[in-house]
Amino acid sequence: MQFLVGLGNPGSAYASTRHNIGFMVIDALVRRLTTQEISKKSFEGELYKSSSKFLLKPQTFMNLSGRSVLAVKQFYKIDMPIVIHDDLDLPFGAIRFKMGGGHGGHNGLKSIDGAVGREYLRIRMGIGRPKHGSVVDFVLGKFYDEELPYIDEWIDKAIDGILALETLKYDDVASQYSQKKITVKGANV
């Protein structure tokens, strides 16, 4: 049983922001799979179940994501999560599969590391870095208009990799479904 966790912040103010790409992937998976919502107040998140997956969107805000992950993991006695998150250190549209490692300053990962340890699979979704201005404003900001036409393709590629993890070895998935970036036409970003 896969335990997929998409990171983001709850509320309409954060919807469709770079920091919420994990939520966006989970939402797309829920639309693609046959799922049933099984949320409980103690989970502190929106939890869905399909025949072979648990899909979680923690509603604790990013910095406390580990609480929700730990609650679901303990209740269902399931393996380590596969965490889908934004990554400033990768260019826009990149996808990287990484086993374990540090949090790289990502507060959601830091919280999960503290709750369940660091040895879990991460699906790093590259959002790039701002050329100028605040990193916080960039991360919590909406995608640029030039990027919007590529979002669905990017999410679909990540989902294809997630689904392939059921039948392929990790190294094969990482090789076949990682991508370096998406070239945005006409971008001034």
51: in domain: yes
Write down the pTM of the prediction.
Answer: 0.94
Q: Is the pLDDT of residue 187 over 60?
A: no
What was the pLDDT predicted at 186? Answer: 66
20: in domain: yes
For the stretch 80-125, pLDDT in tens is 999 999 999 999 999 999 998 888 889 999 999 999 999 999 999 9
17: in domain: yes
Task: Note if 85 is an active site residue.
Answer: no
DSSP letter for each residue of 59-97: -S-GGGHHHHHHHHHHHHT----EEEEEETTS-TT-EEE
Tell me how far apart the alpha carbons of residues 176 and 173 are, in angstroms, rounded to a whole number.
Answer: 5
For the stretch 17-68, pLDDT in tens is 999 999 999 999 999 999 999 988 999 999 999 999 999 999 999 999 999 9
184: in domain: no
User: Considering 19, 103, 106, 132, which one is annotated as catalytic?
Assistant: 19
For the stretch 69-80, pLDDT in tens is 999 999 999 989
160: in domain: yes
User: Which residues lie closer than 8 Å to 182 by C-beta, 6 or more apart?
Assistant: 92, 93, 94, 150, 153, 154
Spell out a b/e string for 145-163, using b for 16 or more CB atoms within 10 Å of the CB, else e: eebeebbeebbebbbebbb
185: in domain: no
What was the pLDDT predicted at 163? Answer: 95
186: in domain: no
CATH of the domain at 120: 3.40.50.1470
Domain membership of residue 114 as a residue range: 2-177
Domain count, the chain: 1
Tell me how far apart the alpha carbons of residues 169 and 94 are, in angstroms, rounded to a whole number.
Answer: 21
What was the pLDDT predicted at 181? Answer: 83
23: in domain: yes
